[in-house]
Amino acid sequence: MSAASLYPVSPEAAAQSLTDEATYKAMYQQSVVNPDGFWREQAERIDWIKPFTRVKQTSFDDHHVDIKWFADGTLNVSANCLDRHLDTRGDEIAIIWEGDDPADHREITYRELHHEVSKFANALRGQDVHRGDVVTIYMPMVPEVAVAMLACARIGAIHSVVFGGFSPEALAGRIIDGNSKVVITADEGLRGGKKVPLKGNVDEALTNPQTRCVQKIIVVRRTGGDIRWHPHRDIWYEDLMRVAGDVCAPKEMGAEEPLFILYTSGSTGKPKGVLHTSGGYLLYAALTHERVFDYRPGEVYWCTADVGWITGHSYIIYGPLANGATTLIYEGVPNYPGVTRIARIIDKHQVNILYTAPTAIRSMMAEGPAAMEGADGSSLRLLGTVGEPINPEAWHWYYETVGKSRCPVVDTWWQTETGGILISPLPGATALKPGSATRPFFGVVPGLVDNLGNLLEGATEGNLVILDSWPGQMRSIYRDHDRFVDTYFKTFRGMYFTGDGARRDEDGYYWITGRVDDVLNVSGHRMGTAEIESAMVAHRKVAEAAVVGVPHPLKGQGIYVYVTLVAGEEPSDQLRQELQQWVRKEIGPIAVPDVIQWAPGLPKTRSGKIMRRILRKIATDEHDALGDISTLADPGVVPQLIETHNQMR
Ligand code: WTA
């Protein structure tokens, strides 16, 4: 590692930060040597109703995976995000909302948010929603989405937020899996000046007979656009709020009672309902938010994620609000009405901390200096990234052009499953290396293993595993604990397998190299190859499909699909478009293939397994590196696929 690519901690950052190098080392050491003592002390940042006596009760043994933290303590998550701030900072801003239209914005104080949440919690109760019921939230990025999530938490209902870009089919699947009683949505969303028919999508999802579990749809009026209305089923949010009482005692919840489920893609099967519980999750989200972003009271913090993803849950809503921070919620897209929108929002709201994804950075970078033109940017103090490996070029552009070479960049590695950040620099403690997520957070014990599960020492590369539990870890897959154990604890026994590969350098820094399983990362969105393949083969003209990820300059990875048509169907550009539309309808715009290649057959082993490795090499022009293909059932398809690929270029 050359010295030129090392960015030492500045003396000012170290002096002002909560965590300097010595503090990091001492705390990390304590956290792994004596996790009980460490987390007992950290848990003081939570307002417990009944204090816990037990701290960590966790087992990664694949015969009996069981993860419990603070199990006999009780708390209410919404009270931790709202009520306890009222005396100290009730009139400070909890949420700054910036609308899609630059003329629209709102500021909401902690007191106002508490008021809204209490009312909506009462309204939900009035609709017969109780502790343990699942509420699906399919909403745009408006303040009411925070109100809805916190109101669920207040009464002990489990929220299941579904990204507003998912199709009616994808929404229906999640509603059915969660056996959801109520859906909260908006008439329409607004993104980049375009309307998104959210209520229409819910109506369509509910035509699926298996969604009969849904009793009510609560609709926030966002655009006032025309929607269909079913008087016995649909209710306006505003009508409920008009009559709801504003006093709602927060429900006393066990630390291990569910807070939410959130669906994410894996290498096989349907999306999994990742289950997070209350006490450990909230503690971990709050502590990481404070330490990684070095959050200081009064600062304005902006995470550009959508609440439909885990980043939105932990670092727009729960972490910041538990810490009494001011969190910015942005409704729109980065380049509307123009390429300087992000810069303008930073200046308008004097944002101190910006947390975004490499794909957003690359699309700003593609504009050259234009994206920051005329921007002041002097309010910024810290920059963060998440979602995919950041290429050093994008890192440097972010650091120099957005941060004016004075703001540390925290490259945070984590997953839906981990609940919060596991590997990241701490700005006052960690010298930065562009492209490296650097070192583990408190309590996190990463390891690298070979394909047989042997732990590797020193500077090396391998499969990234985590060797012991941390409080923010997912507890199960909703109503499918066996799948949880199989997915995460069977590949390497006794270890949590992340699905990522990583390299560890001579300084002990981790460099995430990307997924080692059949999961794609497209613009920071996780997608299972199996999910896209099953959407493809659901089309009546498709016999078989195989999906691989290929490097893409803006999205990180693009989606490349090999399609075999059923006998008698002919390839055509029109059919290609039809299939792209089909995937958009089945899953959503984020899953639309970048490339569809017609394939007379697919390379398979004699036992019928598709050799994706070969397909990936063909798609990325590594035709000399195919390896041994003689063991394939039909080696003859390979030269044919190479030829078609070359013709397409
Ligand atoms: C990838 C998002 C490199 C990784 C919080 C992981 C990253 C998957 C980084 C989880 C990073 C996330 N550097 N890769 N800083 N952060 N990833 O569940 O492959 O949507 O397994 O959670 O994103 O995606 P998920």
Which of residues 544 and 1 earns the better pLDDT score? 544
At 428-437, the pLDDT tens digits run 999 999 999 9
Nearest to 294 by CA among 352, 207, 361: 352
CB 521 less than 6 A from any atom of ligand 1 = yes
**Candidate of 521, 522, 531 to mutate for ligand 1, largest count of ligand atoms within 8 Å of Cβ:** 521
Q: In the predicted model, what is the mean pLDDT of residues 130-146?
A: 98
Handedness of CA 497, 500, 504, 510 (dihedral sign): negative
Do the beta carbons of residue 510 and residue 437 sit within 8 Å? Answer: yes
Q: Is the pLDDT of residue 4 over 80?
A: no
pLDDT band at 252; cut points 50, 70, 90: very high
d(CA 216, CA 229): 12
Nearest to 648 by CA among 558, 546, 562, 523: 562
pLDDT band at 5; cut points 50, 70, 90: confident
Q: In the predicted model, what is the mean pLDDT of residues 347-356?
A: 98
Residue-level pLDDT at 409: 98
pLDDT band at 1; cut points 50, 70, 90: very low
At 287-329, the pLDDT tens digits run 999 999 999 999 999 999 999 999 999 999 999 999 999 999 9
Percent of the chain with pLDDT over 90: 93
CB 389 less than 6 A from any atom of ligand 1 = yes
Nearest to 339 by CA among 555, 192, 196, 195: 192
**Helices of type H across 436-590:** 481-489, 529-537, 573-586
Do the beta carbons of residue 546 and residue 600 sit within 8 Å? Answer: no
Q: Is 526 annotated as a binding residue?
A: yes
CB 387 less than 6 A from any atom of ligand 1 = yes
Bond from prior residue into 635 cis (ω within 30 degrees of 0): no
Q: Is the pLDDT of residue 512 over 60?
A: yes
pLDDT band at 146; cut points 50, 70, 90: very high
Q: In the predicted model, what is the mean pLDDT of residues 447-455?
A: 98
412 CA distance to ligand 1 centroid (A)? Answer: 8
Q: Is the pLDDT of residue 259 over 50?
A: yes
ipTM: 1.00
CB 264 less than 6 A from any atom of ligand 1 = yes
d(CA 36, CA 56): 6
CB 415 less than 6 A from any atom of ligand 1 = yes
Q: Is the pLDDT of residue 365 over 60?
A: yes
Q: Is 192 annotated as a binding residue?
A: yes
Any idea which of 173-187, 208-222, 414-428, 594-608 has the lowest mean pLDDT? 594-608
* DSSP character at residue 368: G
Residue-level pLDDT at 166: 96
Query: Ligand 1 atom 23: the closest Cα is on which residue?
Result: 387
Q: Is the pLDDT of residue 3 over 70?
A: no
Do the beta carbons of residue 633 and residue 608 sit within 8 Å? Answer: yes
Any idea which of 1-15, 34-48, 209-223, 393-407 has the lowest mean pLDDT? 1-15
Query: Ligand 1 atom 10: the closest Cα is on which residue?
Result: 415
Nearest to 116 by CA among 274, 21, 237: 237
Query: Ligand 1 atom 6: the closest Cα is on which residue?
Result: 415
Query: Ligand 1 atom 14: the closest Cα is on which residue?
Result: 388
Q: Quote the tokens at residue 61.
A: 């043994």
Q: In the predicted model, what is the mean pLDDT of residues 150-174?
A: 98
Query: Ligand 1 atom 1: the closest Cα is on which residue?
Result: 388
Residue-level pLDDT at 607: 83
CB 411 less than 6 A from any atom of ligand 1 = yes
Q: Is 389 annotated as a binding residue?
A: yes
Q: Is 613 annotated as a binding residue?
A: no
**Candidate of 264, 288, 412, 415 to mutate for ligand 1, largest count of ligand atoms within 8 Å of Cβ:** 415
CB 414 less than 6 A from any atom of ligand 1 = yes
Using CA atoms, how far residue 82 sits from 112, 126, 528, 596, in Å, is 10, 22, 37, 49
At 500-509, the pLDDT tens digits run 999 999 999 9
Length of the chain measured in residues: 649
Residue-level pLDDT at 2: 45
Geometric angle at alpha carbon 473, from 472 and 476, rounded to 5°: 130
What mean pLDDT is reported for the chain? 96
